[in-house]
Amino acid sequence: MTQSETILEMRNISKAFPGVQALQDVSFECGRGEVHALVGENGSGKSTLVKVLNGAYAPDTGSILLDGHEVKVKDPKQGKGLGISTIYQEFELEPYLDVAENIFLGREPTNRLGLVDFRKMHSEAVRLLNEVGMHLDVRKWITDLSVSQQQMVEIAKALSFRAKVLVMDEPTSTLTDEETDRLFSIIRSLQGQGIAVVYISHRIKEVFEIADRVTVLRDGKVVGTEMIRNVDETALVKMMIGRTLDTIFPEKGEQGGEVVLSARHLSRKGAFDDISFDLQKGEILGLSGLVGSGRTEVARTLFGADRMDRGEILLDGRAVKIRSPRDAVSFGLGLVPENRREEGLVICLSVQKNTVLAVLERMGRFLFRNPRRERDITVQLVSSLDIKCPSCDCEVGLLSGGNQQKVVLSKWLSAPPKVIMFDEPTRGIDVGAKAEIHILMRTLANKGAGILMISSELPEVLGMSDRILVMREGRLVGDFSAQEATEQKVMAAATGVMQ
């Protein structure tokens, strides 16, 4: 790529934090109208590089050039003014403001009297949304929009800053296949407008579908940059994790164990109706279905986070009343939730405090707590799960997504429950960490735990499950053994479309 085609250059960027060299001599560039994928394991330095680019972090060394001119990006606001916009996995939108107000928040157009010119703001919002092919009522509150619609609002907001470089961080993590196809169409439209797109994703297949080039980071260093046509998935994974993955999924276990959990006619109004199934000891039971089919709601009800309207839960053949998560834990149930940051962790607390959350009562009370025992448990689990953190006292919110997920797991491994429910266990984490979590899940099953796994990734459902249940519109509509299940059969059941 010639200098005249290059819109963004990051030269020899280094950034260190106490005890961690996050980036070391990293160089990265992106051309006008190019989609350049940035990939690597969690903790490889991708997020730090993006935060240096948009001004959230100041680099220790190195320089940034836009259109061949060096720029000093002091903060994200200035970065947006220069044409650098970032769309994070967690959207930066105000839920109880409307679409137009979110797009122009803090920059509302005014009339001659200095008052907000709502007519102009609404018309400009409509124009920006039309640029990304989205026809949306700009007076709607953000909270009333779907995830994919919110993403379009984020893109429109970026265009309102006249973005030259648009960074997308895991943009498809909560999208359906249809919504992902629509997003890719919009990205190609942005390419046609000459906007450079830095695309960050752990979904390798997507990288090959949308990117022109790919740069791989590992341990804060650039491993290599390749034209996407010159590399295959195996080579890319090896660049990312430093080894090949011999098997994508661990070997399945033997079936025929005793039933550990039974659900009988569970119903919750507006969420699901008449759900019945058995989960055996040592079994990984996949729960599949489209987003909104009721899968997560079933897990939350089993865990006592939501109340059922009717039905019965049995553990080891005995009926139990689970009115709260505290009850669930006491009966031997654990939940790794879909939203790990908001529901699985206390982000402001340390790795150690998060690890022992589920067993605090066993650690003593108030002045009689046993901090040495807490530390011993945490050190053992950090080591066995290979959690990458400077120390057990490190704030868990500072860890990468994959390491945060391992901390959620460690909370349950400190006192292994009879049943663990995993809701989207590998969402937003890299291929190496995915493989590790899959192995941990199978290890737990082999030790006799019953595993209920909810996943939107069909390959994961098929590769990990000993048996698969399918939900549609709040009801169970399919039950397949691992041997008979195929993508076509599962999708046919989930969509209601006959094969």
Task: Give tens-digit pLDDT for 343-369.
Answer: 888 888 899 888 887 766 665 555 556
- Comparing CA positions, the residue from 8, 381, 45, 421 lying closest to residue 213 is 8
Q: Does residue 404 contact residue 355 with C-beta atoms inside 8 Å? A: no
| CA dist., res. 388 & res. 384, Å (int) | 11
| CA dist., res. 386 & res. 41, Å (int) | 13
Which tokens go with 263? 């659900």
Q: Does residue 233 contact residue 211 with C-beta atoms inside 8 Å? A: no
Those residues whose C-beta lies under 8 Å from the C-beta of residue 459, and which sit 6 or more positions away, are 248, 487
CA torsion, ordered 87, 88, 90, 92, to nearest 10 deg: -50
| CA dist., res. 93 & res. 99, Å (int) | 9
- DSSP code per residue over 333-381: EEEE-S-IIIII--TTSBHHHHHTGGGGGGG-SGGG--HHHHHHHHHHH
Q: How many CB atoms lie within 10 A of CB 484?
A: 10
Which tokens go with 190? 């942005």
**What is the pTM for the complete model shown?**
0.64
Provide the CA 135 distance to its chain's centre, in angstroms. 27
Which tokens go with 32? 């006008």
Q: How far apart are the first and last CA of the chain?
A: 47
Q: What is the DSSP letter of 144?
A: G
Q: How many CB atoms lie within 10 A of CB 68?
A: 10
| CA dist., res. 495 & res. 499, Å (int) | 11
**Extents of the domains making up the chain:** 3-241, 259-495
Which tokens go with 45? 């330095």
Contacts 24+ apart (CB under 8 A), 294-297: 294/471, 294/473, 294/474, 294/475, 295/423, 295/454, 295/471, 296/338, 296/423, 296/454, 297/268, 297/271, 297/272
Architecture of domain 3-241: 3-Layer(aba) Sandwich (3.40)
pLDDT in tens, 365-418: 555 567 788 888 888 888 877 888 888 888 888 887 778 888 888 888 777 789
pLDDT in tens, 450-490: 999 999 888 889 999 999 999 999 999 999 999 999 888 89
pLDDT in tens, 132-181: 777 889 999 999 988 788 888 988 888 888 889 999 988 887 777 778 88
| CA dist., res. 236 & res. 241, Å (int) | 9
pLDDT at 203: 83
Dihedral-angle region of residue 28 (phi above 0 means left; psi in -120 to 50 means alpha; beta otherwise): beta
Domain 259-495 in CATH: superfamily?
P-loop containing nucleotide triphosphate hydrolases (3.40.50.300)
Q: What percent of the chain has pLDDT over 90?
A: 46
Same-fold call for 3-241 versus 259-495:
yes
Q: What is the mean pLDDT of the chain?
A: 87
4: confidence class by pLDDT, cuts 50, 70, 90: very low
CA-based torsion, 342, 405, 430, 440: positive or negative: negative
Q: Does residue 376 contact residue 449 with C-beta atoms inside 8 Å? A: no
pLDDT in tens, 214-272: 999 988 999 999 999 999 888 888 888 776 555 568 888 776 679 999 999 999 999 99
| CA dist., res. 264 & res. 216, Å (int) | 48
